[in-house]
Amino acid sequence: MTQTLKTKVLIIGAGTGGYVAGIRCGQLGLDTVLVDGGDGLGGTCLNVGCIPSKAIIHAAGKYETVAKAADGGTLGITTATPAIDLSQTVAWKDGIVKKLNNGVAALLKKAKVKVIKGWAEFSDAKTCTVKTADGDIVISAEHVILATGSEPVELPFLKFGGDVISSTEALSLDAVPGKLVVVGGGYIGLELGIAFRKLGAEVAIVEMADRLLPLYDKALTDPVAKWLEKHGVELHLGAKAGSFENGALNVTGADGQAMKIKADKVLVTVGRKPRTQGWGLENMGVAMAGPFVKIDDRCATSMKNVWAVGDLTGEPMLAHKGSAQGEVVAEIIAGHDRRFDPVTIAAVCFTEPEIVSAGLGPQDVAGRDDVIQAVFPLMAIGRALAIEAGEDGGFVRVIASKTDHRLLGVQAVGQHVSEMSNSFAQMLEMGAVLEDVAGVIHVHPTLGEAFHEATLRALGHAIHI
């Protein structure tokens, strides 16, 4: 039997864009239905992305620390040789995900959002049929928010299945692979490749570009490259992956020579693409911008009262962007005057060491003589040395206008620098000048002192260097 349902707001996708939009709609008193047809409440980020990957990365770091203690000791601490039961680690990770799933469900319930589990298919811009376990539900809405997210890109000659895996399967392995080959040297491949290396796997990385993390400048990525070299990670740069046969990946090296790399698992991380297929987007009449849904600065599509947020709308494909867009759309529907026009959306790579970038980088200001750049090394920060975070070449860099000292960009590389990302974004969003950061009394001892010192250095009077 087919049910029918009418609502003020219909949200498709329960990821960080969709569920946040739902909660905010509920808070604003809007009758709201949220259709969850993907990975579960929280979407990719909570279920098979940001959160579980950081849990596995954390566990890998703990294992590495114990392994160091067993291999001659560290910080005066010695211990027996460690072992890991990855299935137990994954079960712990799954427990975190379940707790967060339940939290999102409770928040949506509190906001009086009706959640329907099922796959939606649109027949026109404001009407969809949701196939659920209890039958079909036809939903019509005054406003539709599309938040379908993204999915891993699959290579035609390396189809997912068996020992060829995406990041989703990598986060649920029941044992550490003896040899892991990662195809793609972007942030997802490096984060997971480094984690599995810490857990004891032999790791090789195959990347088409001539260096890792090509979207970041070389100074930021050099400490990561040094970690990989120091820890025996095999790098094949300027190389092209081919098929996987008989336990070996076919690769064409930078010199054009063919080689075979043995692998127990091949992790393909060559990017993500917007989830635009299978739910009737073609029946909605919205304009596209390449593979993405085209939106304006209100997150409005070309179809009246159809909105889109998150990965579906283009780069940067970051969870926090989708959440911010979701809030904006909810408030616009409720009658508020809002725009999505951030000064910056900071990005973090949870590699070893971590990388943060907010605003303009050196490549964006190359050749300009109207900017100031200053770098302060973490090795000159007491807190960094005390937690072993200052000896891997880490630093904080500020870029500012030479004329009015307005901050244009802030970057950092080093252990735990992800925790400074919000400070960087906040200062840029507020239009801070170098003197603003320099005038803030930064807590000692913290890593954040490096941000303070970098601005002092840009002004010509750093204290601790």
Catalytic residues: 444
Give the integer Cα–Cα distance in Å for 30 and 9. Answer: 7
Token look-up 């127990």 returns: 264
Q: How far is CA 416 from CA 61, 212, 412, 421, in A?
A: 12, 20, 10, 10
Is the separation of the CB atoms in 113 and 32 below 8 Å?
A: yes
Contact between residue 451 and residue 443 where contact means Cβ atoms under 8 Å apart:
no
Burial class (CB in 10 A: 0-12, 13-18, 19+), 1: exposed
Q: How far apart are CA 451 and CA 444, in angstroms?
A: 12
- Per DSSP, the residues of 242-264 read EEEETTEEEEE-TTS-EEEEE-S
8 Å CB contact between 299 and 292: no
Rounded Cα gap, residues 321 and 202, in angstroms: 35
CA distance 90 to 187: 21
Burial tier of 150 (Cβ tally within 10 Å: 0-12, 13-18, 19+): buried
* 34, 108 contact by CB (below 8 A): yes
Answer for the pair 371, 402: CB distance below 8 angstroms, yes or no.
yes
Residue 397's SS3 state is strand
DSSP-derived pairing of the beta strands 127-132 and 119-124: antiparallel
* CB-based contact 117:137 (threshold 8 Å): no
CA distance 8 to 32: 6
| Cβ-contact 420, 396 below 8 angstroms | yes
User: What DSSP assignment string belongs to 401-459?
Assistant: ETTT-BEEEEEEEETTGGGGHHHHHHHHHTT-BHHHHHHS---SSSTTHHHHHHHHHHT
The three-state secondary structure class of 332 is helix
Cα-Cα end-to-end distance for the chain: 74
